[in-house]
Amino acid sequence: MSPKQPREAGNLFAAAGMEQDAPHPLPDRLRPRTLADVVGQDHILGPDGALTRMLETRTLGSLVFWGPPGTGKTTVARLLADATELHFEQISAVFSGVADLKKAFDAARARRETGKGTLLFVDEVHRFNRAQQDSFLPVMEDGTVVLVGATTENPSFELNAALLSRARVLVFHSLDTAAIEKLFANAEKIEGKPLPLDAEARAVLVRMADGDGRASLTLAEEVWRAARKGEVFNAEQLQAILQRRAPIYDKSADGHYNLISALHKSVRGSDPDAALYYLARMFDAGEDPLFLARRVVRMAVEDIGLADPQALAVCNAAKDAYDFLGSPEGELAIAQAVVYLATAPKSNAVYTAFGAAMQTAKQGGSLLPPKHILNSPTKLMKSEGYGSGYQYDHDMPDAFSGQDYFPEALGRQTFYDPPDRGFEREIRKRLDYWQRLRKDRGGS
């Protein structure tokens, strides 16, 4: 290799208008220096926020920060250590094991003997197994460390009850539009120029950030890098440049359950537009369409029921259509079923009736049905009264006998109470009619 090559390589960078020693990434340059600089978490860092009160009263205890990526959990932990003059020690549950924990605890004990406390920040704390989580308990109790664990998963499900009982959970929120815009404004001050986006494209960029502050600044930096002098991007150009950012969505985590819950409740609330939006969100994030088809069938039987008996058939047909067509054509069939359910009359009467019947069945035990509706295939059973007094409904006036079919010890029960809407309006008429006949013929 010629000794001139390194210098020539440097000249290539200079000729391209690039610096060899590139500046730090924008998210790093905009990292908050004080807790007051943190945006989007006013509920814990504002004047009446939980952390603000802890710092004022000097009562900082162990904490669990729960929230999505890019909401400031690591930054706040580091700034807390600065504000309380604690040594900041950081480990990640992804890369650390028992040996790393023991090393961190021993260092904290040694530090404590010199009068210096330790704030131990554990990223992805939920990834530690139960035994590893238990190892924190003694050092939390004796004050060796102030533990601050960060997790994107619901602590109620992922962390030991013993650990949770010794730590306070603080929820970090996804950054809203105002917070993201504040980050963009701060970035524009540092860059000394506005983002080269029209108003619509800027709004799209905010949505692409998905509430993630770090991602918002990374995307903004990509926009600045892509723009030629004097160029301003519209929304379509922005999406082409960034190739969009995949939504934050883990099919085994809270995002999955939050969106399916939102879809279900939008259908129940007769809002087809909201239902389609959440369905599209889940499709866009790569959700299994057959999982959605199964949940749509569940909605049909739980929330529409017999108010529209066709709803279940429509949903099963949508599942079959997806099986036949595959993606992406088959997804339209599921969308059609969702709109059908959202616009159908609603009833949970069957759902409620079945739950009540199940409860009564469990509580009642093995009660024998009344003998008049039991078959009597043997002489002994016939002599015991099995089948005696049974009235064949088709031979009765109106094809209705009005007999009681419940066990005698239980008495007649009413579980199904259809509302006066949809097809169940007709069912209600029939039930009321049969009840009148039952009374007229001396039944209950």
**Cα 224 from chain centre:** 33
Q: How far is CA 60 from CA 75, 106, 173, in A?
A: 16, 22, 21
Residue 357 within a domain = no
Same domain (yes/no): 181, 166: no
pLDDT at 166 over 70: yes
Last residue in a domain, options 114, 138, 171: 171
Structure tokens at 358: 């199940």
pLDDT tens figures, 299-322: 999 999 999 999 999 999 999 999
250 pLDDT band, cuts 50/70/90, is low
CB 80 within 8 A of CB 51: yes
Residues 325 and 388 in one domain: no
For residue 13, tell me if it sits in a domain: no
Residue range(s) defining the domain that contains residue 400: 368-440
Same domain, 89 and 151: yes
DSSP H helices in 210-328:
213-226, 235-242, 254-268, 272-284, 289-299, 310-325
Is residue 431 very low, low, confident or very high in pLDDT (cuts 50, 70, 90)? very high
User: What is the pLDDT of the chain when averaged over all its residues?
Assistant: 87
Place of tokens 């996804």: 174
Do residues 144 and 222 share a domain? no
What single letter denotes the amino acid at residue 421? R
Q: Output the domain CATH number for residue 294.
A: 1.20.272.10
CA angle 234, 238, 243 (to 5 degrees): 155
Summarize pLDDT for 5-58 with one digit per residue, the tens: 444 444 444 444 444 455 688 888 888 998 888 999 999 999 888 899 888 887
pLDDT at 444: 57
Q: Which pLDDT band, with edges at 50, 70 and 90, does 251 fall under?
A: low
Q: Which of the pair, 4 or 98, is modelled with greater confidence?
A: 98
Tally of domains within the chain: 4
Shared domain check, 202 and 107: no
Residue 78 has pLDDT above 50, yes or no: yes
Q: Is 15 within the bounds of a domain? A: no
**199-222 residue pLDDT tens:** 999 988 988 888 899 989 999 999
Are 154 and 232 in the same domain? no
What percent of the chain clears pLDDT 90, i.e. is strictly above it?
Answer: 51
Query: In terms of domains, do 193 and 128 share one?
Result: no
User: Are 374 and 421 contained in the same domain?
Assistant: yes
Is there a domain that residue 98 lies in? yes
153 CB-contact burial (10 Å; exposed 0-12 / middle 13-18 / buried 19+): middle
231 and 271 together in one domain: no
- What are the residues whose beta carbons fall under 8 Å from the beta carbon of 418, sequence distance 6 or more? 306, 307, 347, 349, 424, 425, 427, 428, 431
Could you tell me if 416 and 353 are in contact, meaning their C-beta atoms sit under 8 angstroms apart?
Answer: yes
Q: 278-303, pLDDT tens digit by residue?
A: 999 888 877 889 999 999 999 999 99
Q: Sort 261 into a burial class: Cβ within 10 Å, 0-12 / 13-18 / 19+.
A: exposed
Q: In which element (H, E) is residue 168 found?
A: strand 168-171
382: helix, strand or coil: helix
Task: Give the residues across from 171 on adjacent strands.
Answer: 66
Q: Does residue 26 belong to any structural domain of this protein?
A: no
408 and 323 in a common domain: no
Angle between helices 177-191 and 213-226 (to 10 degrees): 40
Domain boundary among 343, 376, 405: 343
Last residue of a domain, one of 328, 343, 358: 343
CATH number at residue 203: 1.10.8
**107 in a structural domain:** yes
Residue 257: its pLDDT value, please?
79
Report the CATH number at residue 108. Answer: 3.40.50.300
In-domain check, residue 27: no
Exposed e or buried b per residue across 350-364, where buried means at least 16 C-beta atoms within 10 angstroms of its C-beta: beebeeeeeeeeeee
Q: Does 91 lie in the same domain as 144?
A: yes
pLDDT of the residue at 12: 41
What is d(CA 243, CA 180) in angstroms, rounded to the nearest whole number? 20
Same domain, 236 and 308: no
351 found inside a domain: no
